A = this chain, B = another copy of it.
């Protein structure tokens, strides 16, 4: 059970899991389909997906014999909120630059 940001931070600590999130950002995928993109076994991928689910970074629904993994991007907001605590300490020159860039994007 996820009772806070700990499981989310923990889930993000592994590079394979971060790659899986990138993969799932473009489309939902079954365990088999995710595993096909990596060198490790399906069992290892299954464990990674379970950890991502614990961290509420993905959700799962079954479709027949398949288990479809779906990105839950809103959970990353918890991480963003945590980072927000430090916003005020960021280099003000860089903050200014970022704001200028964002202003030009619009």
Q: Taking beta carbons and an 8 Å cutoff, which residues of A are in contact with B?
A: 6, 9-10, 12-13, 15, 18, 21-22, 25, 71, 73-74, 76-77, 79-80, 82-83, 85-86, 89-92, 94
Whether the Cβ atoms of B74 and A91 lie closer than 8 Å is yes
Q: Are B83 and A79 in contact (CB under 8 A)?
A: yes
Selected from B9, B18, B73, B83, the residue in CB contact (under 8 A) with A90 is: B73
Main secondary structure of the interface of A (DSSP, over half): helix
Can you name the residue of chain B whose Cβ is closest to the Cβ of A22? B85
A89/B77 in contact, CB under 8 A? no
Whether A94 contacts B80 in the complex (CB less than 8 A), given A12-B9, A13-B10, A15-B6, comes out as: no
Q: Which 3 A-B pairs have the closest CB atoms?
A: A13-B13, A73-B89, A73-B86
Task: Write out the residue numbers on chain B whose beta carbons fall within 8 Å of the beta carbon of A22.
Answer: 85
Given A25-B85, A71-B89, A86-B25: A80 touches B80 (CB 8 Å cut-off): yes
